[in-house]
């Protein structure tokens, strides 16, 4: 996925979380509301931990960390950062190691 689509995906998931938080009271079955609450808690914790991980990684390894620090505040942008920057770097390193063998 292209880098410019990750903010859109993150904001869409954040919008879903807001809808779940607002509409949880209208869902009547007890089990369904528990599933929504568990999903909400899981996604909220994942967004927060991912943002902290992205901040740490950007500050530690990037030459110019300011754009990535600002992008870390977009919910779930850390997943796109992982796929675009971290994972692709690992694949490049593996290919370079294979050349030397």
pLDDT in tens, 39-90: 778 888 888 888 899 999 888 988 898 988 888 888 888 888 888 888 777 6
- Higher pLDDT residue, 64 or 99? 64
Q: Given a cut of 60, is residue 20 above it in pLDDT?
A: yes
Statement: residue 101 has pLDDT above 80: no
Question: For residue 32, what are its two tokens?
Answer: 């369904």
Whole-model pTM: value is 0.65
Tokens of 25: 């009271």
Question: What does residue 64 show for φ and ψ, rounded to 5 degrees?
Answer: -120, 90
90-99 contacts, C-beta under 8 A, 24 or more apart: none
Q: What is the pLDDT of residue 30?
A: 65
Tokens matching residue 78: 């850390």
């Amino acid at each position: 996925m292209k880098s410019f689509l990750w903010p859109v995906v993150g904001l869409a998931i954040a919008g879903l979380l807001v809808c779940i938080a607002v509409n949880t009271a209208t869902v009547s079955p007890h089990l369904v509301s528990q599933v929504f609450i568990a999903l909400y808690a899981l996604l909220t914790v994942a967004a927060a931990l991912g943002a902290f991980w992205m901040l740490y990684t950007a500050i530690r390894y990037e030459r110019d960390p300011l754009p990535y620090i600002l992008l870390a505040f977009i919910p779930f942008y850390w997943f796109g950062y992982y796929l675009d920057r971290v994972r692709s770097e690992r694949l490049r390193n593996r290919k370079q190691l294979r050349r030397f063998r």
